[in-house]
């Protein structure tokens, strides 16, 4: 499964990067390809490429604030949760993402 996402918290420091790390680690454990962009106090880091977004099966937005560039994900399956969910339950979040992708594949078959 290919996943892209954005992490952004209200302060733009701790939770943004913790959410990114937790999601990336959970993704690696499941064998998923995962890229998480951060939007924090120092701006955008690990900016997602158009290619990464195009190839993604699903988008995870672990955000507590409005993010820039959300229109890039138009037409993609999106899960939006607070950063707290990504931090506390990254494995459950990725399991849910996998379910959504599988259901979409079944409905297209």
Q: Which two tokens stand for residue 9?
A: 């918290």
- The C-alpha torsion from 11 through 71 and 49 to 15, rounded to 10°, is 20
Q: Which two tokens stand for residue 80?
A: 């939006």
| Active-site entry in 8, 9, 48, 63 | 9
Query: What is the radius of gyration, based on Cα positions, of the chain?
Result: 13
Residue 26: active-site member: no
DSSP 1-30: -EEEEEEE-SSSSHHHHHHHHHHHHHHHHT
Known catalytic residues are 9
């Amino acid at each position: 499964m290919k996943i892209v996402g954005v992490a952004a918290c209200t302060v733009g420091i701790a939770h943004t990067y913790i959410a990114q790390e937790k999601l990336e680690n959970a993704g690696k454990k499941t064998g998923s390809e995962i890229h998480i962009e951060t939007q924090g106090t120092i701006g955008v880091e690990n900016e997602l490429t158009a290619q990464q977004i195009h190839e993604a099966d699903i988008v995870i937005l672990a955000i507590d604030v409005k993010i820039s560039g959300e229109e890039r994900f138009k037409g993609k399956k999106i899960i939006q949760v607070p950063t707290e969910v990504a931090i506390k339950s990254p494995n459950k979040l990725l399991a849910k993402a996998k379910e959504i992708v599988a259901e979409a594949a079944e409905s297209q078959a």
